[in-house]
Amino acid sequence: MPRETLKNKKSRAKKIIGLLRKRYPNAVCALNHENVHQLMVATILSAQCTDERVNIVTKDLFKKYRSVKAFADSNITELENDVRTTGFFRNKAKSIQRSAQQLLEEYQGKIPRTIDQLTKFAGVGRKTASVILGTGYGIAEGIVVDTHVTRISQLLRLTKQTDPVKIEQDLMQIISKKDWIDFSHLLILHGRAICIARRPKCPDCPVNMLCPSAKK
């Protein structure tokens, strides 16, 4: 089978995104939040944890800690207990508290708008920064690469890489920048609904004719 050119891969990706948009017209971030700082907290908690579990935890967490200052001034042992069920709770609590303190010390409590600035905060890597920018501000500075995006991008042969940073680099060359934010939301929803890791529903998949891995 001849190697697919970058031009053809871009064209195929565009068609895939169009079909997924029709299937998931309301694709948005699954983490519940009312402001950008809450989104930051929720995204930190989502590491190695389901969005459903995070939403259960943040329902009470955001009622208890209503501002950046409240998180910054929190009792760390109490905060650990508040986020315990998300796993890795000590590190997550420490990151949430410290990032809130950094926000107050360096940005008067306001979340900055670049990946370089965001990744200097405790607990914030490139993926978290991209979530904050894309969902919080509508800024496409990168593509969020989680386990769903990794797996499905590989199945679609949009990348052969396994490292999230290299996967993102590949995708940023193939996906139009205007679609960077939606692309991740679409693949995450698709991974939960149809392209399930252990039992993909290929016959029901809207992009199976464009997927080299589909069981046609």
Distance from C-alpha of 76 to C-alpha of 91, rounded to nearest angstrom: 10
| CATH architecture assignment, domain 36-137 | Orthogonal Bundle (1.10)
Instruction: Decide if domain 6-27+143-210 falls under CATH 3.40.50.2300.
Output: no
Residue ranges per domain, the chain? 6-27+143-210, 36-137
Residue pLDDT tens, the chain, 216 long: 578 999 999 999 999 999 999 999 999 999 999 999 999 999 999 999 999 999 999 999 999 999 999 999 999 999 999 999 999 999 999 999 999 999 999 999 999 999 999 999 999 999 999 999 999 999 999 999 999 999 999 999 999 999 999 999 999 999 999 999 999 999 999 999 999 999 999 999 999 999 999 975
Q: pTM of the entire structure?
A: 0.91
